[in-house]
Chains A and B, each alone.
Chain A
Amino acid sequence: MSDKCGFPRDRLMEYVYSGTEEAKDIAEIEAHIKGCAGCAEKAAGYKSAIKAYSEIKVDFSEDVWDIQRQEIIRKIRKERKDPFAAVLKVFSFVFGHKKLGFALLLVALAGVWAGHYRNQAALQRDRVMIEKVDVLENMEILERLDFYRDLAELGI
């Protein structure tokens, strides 16, 4: 094995991926593999794992892809007709149910319009929550990706 013979794994990887990369000194790696059964077995194992992975690629018949496109266009159409739906979706997610989300959204709006029904602390709480959800939903896509990366790094 490479860990026993001391041949570095990175070099074996270079060999394994040499079909798609401009690898240097491949002959040197090949010469080692020829004479080292452990490394040969390991390299074959990497190649086989990569092959198994690339074979999971999915292709459906064209009518299935058509169905998906139609569904996407239908959803986009719906959203364009009803921009309010996008806001509702955020609330639905936060509150877990569309109808409940809708009701709570109305309550929140009513609360804002008729501010005297709520005390200042409750209003502040709602405002902060709406703001946070809003920030998350409307954050520039690239920032959001970084945001999720940060969370992943923190193990959240």
Chain B
Amino acid sequence: MEREDRDIIQDIKKGSEAAMNELIKKYQKRVYNMVYGMCVNYDTAWDVSQEVFIKVVRNIDSFRGDSSFWTFLYRVTMNAFYDFKRKEKVRSRVANYTDTKAEDEKRVFEVRDMLNIEEDFEKKEAKERIKEALDGLTDVQKEVFMLKNMEGLKIREISAVLKISDGTVKSHLSRATEKIKSITGGGKQ
């Protein structure tokens, strides 16, 4: 039976590696997909989701249990994602990108290659269009759309997580859905 988050976290606070493994196992797919749902990039999702759990363990003492662990995890995830994007932006301004990446952060493989992901042309095209549509959204629109359609949250749950009103969530969701539809050609495939 799955243990409660707070019990697992208590053990992590005491330094238990088994508890870390348990927590990661419980949430890694969701975290990976939340990041993937923001950027549609296998490698970014892999790297960021790793960083998320490292940060969670590093900052576990700052989680006092007054909000749900998932809310805490969500904020760490988005934080790590924006952090990653920001670093990428800085690096892209430096001429030799690969030389400037810290050795620790270098990934010797591409997730796609490792997984031998084979996608047919249509699926690949659809993903490219979704990625393009997401790139045209603001961060908060993307978050709302992802939380609704990847995580399956209700509007009032999204408004609680993002600390914005239901009306604002609806308006972001509406704009994001319209944009995704217009670029993916929804209904005309």
Complex Cα distance A116/B103, Å?
Answer: 34
The reply on A124 being an interface residue by CB < 8 A is no
Distance between B83 CB and nearest chain A CB, rounded to angstroms: 7
Residue from B21, B29, B140, B150 in contact with A73 in the complex, judged by beta carbons closer than 8 Å: B21
The reply on A75 being an interface residue by CB < 8 A is yes
Check A58–B79 contact: CB distance below 8 A: no
Q: Which residues of A contact B40 (CB under 8 A)?
A: 56
Interface of B, helix, strand, loop or mixed by DSSP: helix
Residue from A20, A64, A141 in contact with B154 in the complex, judged by beta carbons closer than 8 Å: A20
Check B24–A140 contact: CB distance below 8 A: no
Nearest chain B residue, comparing its CB with the CB of A64: B115
Complex Cα distance A123/B48, Å?
Answer: 35
Check A17–B173 contact: CB distance below 8 A: yes
Check B187–A48 contact: CB distance below 8 A: yes
Q: Which residues of A contact B32 (CB under 8 A)?
A: 58, 68
Q: Which residues of B contact A97 (CB under 8 A)?
A: 99-100, 102
Complex Cα distance A19/B188, Å?
Answer: 22
Residue from B54, B102, B114, B181 in contact with A79 in the complex, judged by beta carbons closer than 8 Å: B54
Check B186–A72 contact: CB distance below 8 A: no
Interface residues of A, count at CB 8 A: 53
Check B145–A53 contact: CB distance below 8 A: yes
Check A45–B187 contact: CB distance below 8 A: yes
The reply on A101 being an interface residue by CB < 8 A is yes
With A69-B25, A145-B82 as known contacts, state yes or no: A58 contacts B36, CB within 8 Å.
yes
Residue from A69, A86, A142 in contact with B75 in the complex, judged by beta carbons closer than 8 Å: A142
Distance between B168 CB and nearest chain A CB, rounded to angstroms: 13
Nearest chain B residue, comparing its CB with the CB of A12: B174
The reply on B13 being an interface residue by CB < 8 A is no
The reply on A65 being an interface residue by CB < 8 A is yes
Interfacial residues of chain B within 63-102, with CB under 8 A of chain A in the complex? 75-76, 78-79, 82-83, 86-87, 91, 94, 99-100, 102
What class of interface size applies to chain B in its complex with A?
Answer: 35 or more
Check A10–B174 contact: CB distance below 8 A: yes
Task: Give a binary string over B97-115; 1 marks a CB under 8 Å from any A CB, 0 the rest.
Answer: 0011011100000000011
Complex Cα distance A69/B180, Å?
Answer: 33
Q: Which residues of B contact A50 (CB under 8 A)?
A: 149, 177, 180, 186
Residues of A at under 8 Å CB distance from B? 9-10, 13, 16-17, 20-21, 41-42, 44-50, 52-54, 56-60, 64-65, 68-69, 71-73, 75-77, 79, 85-86, 89, 92-93, 96-98, 101, 140-142, 144-145, 148-149, 151-152
* Extra A-B contacts (10), CB below 8 Å, given A44-B186, A48-B181, A49-B186: A41-B187, A48-B189, A58-B33, A59-B29, A69-B24, A86-B58, A89-B104, A96-B94, A142-B75, A152-B82
User: Can you pick out 24 interface pairs between chain A and chain B where the beta carbons lie within 8 Å of each other?
Assistant: A13-B177, A20-B152, A21-B155, A47-B186, A48-B187, A49-B177, A49-B181, A49-B187, A50-B180, A53-B145, A53-B150, A53-B184, A56-B130, A64-B114, A65-B28, A69-B25, A73-B21, A75-B50, A77-B17, A93-B87, A97-B100, A141-B55, A141-B76, A148-B83
